[in-house]
A and B are shown apart, each in its own frame.
Chain A
Amino acid sequence: MADGFRIFPLGDSALTVEFGNEISVDLNQRSIALSDHFESHPFPGFIESVPAYASATIFYDVAQVRRGFPESASSFDTVRSLADAALKTIKTTLVAESRVVEIPVHFDSTSAPDLAFVAKQSGLGENKVIELFTGRTYRVFMLGFLPGFTYMAEVDKRIATPRKDAPRASVPNGSVGIAGKQTGIYSLESPGGWQIVGRTDVEVFTPHAKRPTLLQPGDQVRFVPAK
């Protein structure tokens, strides 16, 4: 998986390997594979690694890296060499088979304040929007923005709708939104600009559970109308 990437420092205590600037399953799998590699093969000074859409970022403790690799010119050089070496050996085909999680969603007008707007924008009826939205499986590309907030894609292009011009001051916990081709679940009540097309009762962020987030990068999600 060595071709087509750039490596740059993210400040002075982290390094990013960027595989591209698009939402693609292939680039995301590479990002997760590299990130997982360092979680399972940590080096002296390694703190954590974080996959995003098409990049993996490795956080490290500069002083500890220098102590572990005293011959290296800088901690960035050290971690870059480790990343280069890892990229030559990791096979993305080893990414574990992802699981499919079903999430029931309410589409009534209180739960889905922007459903009418998305329907109008797309020229389709609300029922058709719901049908298209629930008609496919979405990949969890990454988590971010809020603890447990999932960035998922890709939404059918007929209902892909840009973010709201003015973000809402408060979006309720469990709201399911669309932003362009992306969809996501608000894990907490928060300000937010995504078009809210539904709401789920499933808790995607449970801070005191052993796994505090229901979903992980690489998971598949299927929305189904709640009964």
Chain B
Amino acid sequence: MSLTLLRAGILTTVQDLGRSGWRRCGINPNGPMDPVAARVANLLAGNDENNALLEMHFPAAEIRFDSAVTFAICGGDFSAELDREPVGNWRSFLATKGSTLHFTGKMTGERSYLAVRGGLDIPLWLGSASTNLNARVGGLDGRKLQAGERIGLRNAEAQHSPVRAVSPYLLPHYSRFPTVRIVPGPEYEYLSKSSRKALTSQNFTISPRSNRMGFQLDGEPLSLGEPRELISSAVTFGTIQLLPDGQLIVLMADQQTAGGYPRIAHVISYDLPLVGQLGAGDKVAFHMVEYTDAERLMLHLEEELSLLRVACRFQSR
């Protein structure tokens, strides 16, 4: 029971929902840039949401299924084809033994998730299969995958699962220019009055100096009302920091655990997938909402995911 990578793709890594409990040691969680897509892909494949799967960028990997197995692709649409037949995102399919999956063109988003029934058989590091590229540990030896690599599958009995679709509420509205909701960060009030206005009234462009750790934004520089010296404190996925040159950085899945730059805002969890699917040159605008809105949206998302979870369990019996 395995997959073989005929082509590795430009940046293919193993992820699960990340490594928690080790931030106090400076060990960051990692995990998918688009956590919702990763969770839905696993559910559609008949897995637990936290199973190990592949996060791919475009050009993506070319993958041979060495046994018959159910799979699902979610997130960015890279025009997947199974033995030259188009397969859509956000539903599950059965691959026959020896069939080949490849991706012919990027239609939406920047990151696509492939979940395979049983999950990838990857040794856990500190409880997680997620890859920590900086520390070169986790996932497959802490690195991106290479052509020719063979990855085993866990409990992948050749099972014909029904084709499942997803509630429209779970289908994200990916865009090359999304409006993303934010809540104020602890240092928001330190911004000058005009910078507070500029945060939500201008469009920012994702800089090429962006990676899984963070997206640097190009825009009209913002500034603090007066200079402040901060000591290092916690940051998280979605934290927006103000850099000394007045530009912003949105911390992403491989964010550091602590930082000393002003945390002026946070992207709400519900909208993280919209940001996680952006790439260099894409634009983003911010809209400030209340903390209670962020929580309400998150609970709504969890409700939808739990419905999908029940439906997938029911059908996989």
Contact = CB atoms under 8 A, between A and B. Distances in A.
A54 interface: yes
A8 interface: yes
Contacts, number: 145
Given A18-B186, A207-B125, A145 B256 contact: yes
A223 interface: no
A76 to B, nearest CB: 6
B163 interface: no
Interface in A32-91: 35, 47-55, 57, 59, 62-63, 66, 74-76
Nearest to B228: A21
Interface string B2-37: 000000000000000000111111111000000000
A12 B258 contact: no
B142 to A, nearest CB: 8
Contacts of B269: 11-13, 62
Interface residues of B, number: 45
Interface in B181-201: 183, 185-186
Contacts of B292: 74
Contacts of B20: 47-48, 59
Contacts of B137: 207-208
A11 B24 contact: no
Interface string B256-285: 111100010011110000000000000000
18 contacts: A11-B183, A11-B268, A11-B294, A12-B266, A13-B236, A52-B233, A53-B233, A74-B291, A74-B292, A143-B25, A148-B26, A188-B134, A188-B136, A190-B134, A205-B135, A207-B137, A208-B137, A213-B26
Interface of B: 20-28, 125-126, 132, 134-137, 183, 185-186, 230-239, 256-259, 263, 266-269, 291-292, 294-295, 298-299, 302
Given A21-B231, A143-B25, 9 more contacts: A10-B234, A10-B236, A12-B295, A16-B186, A21-B230, A63-B298, A76-B295, A145-B257, A216-B25
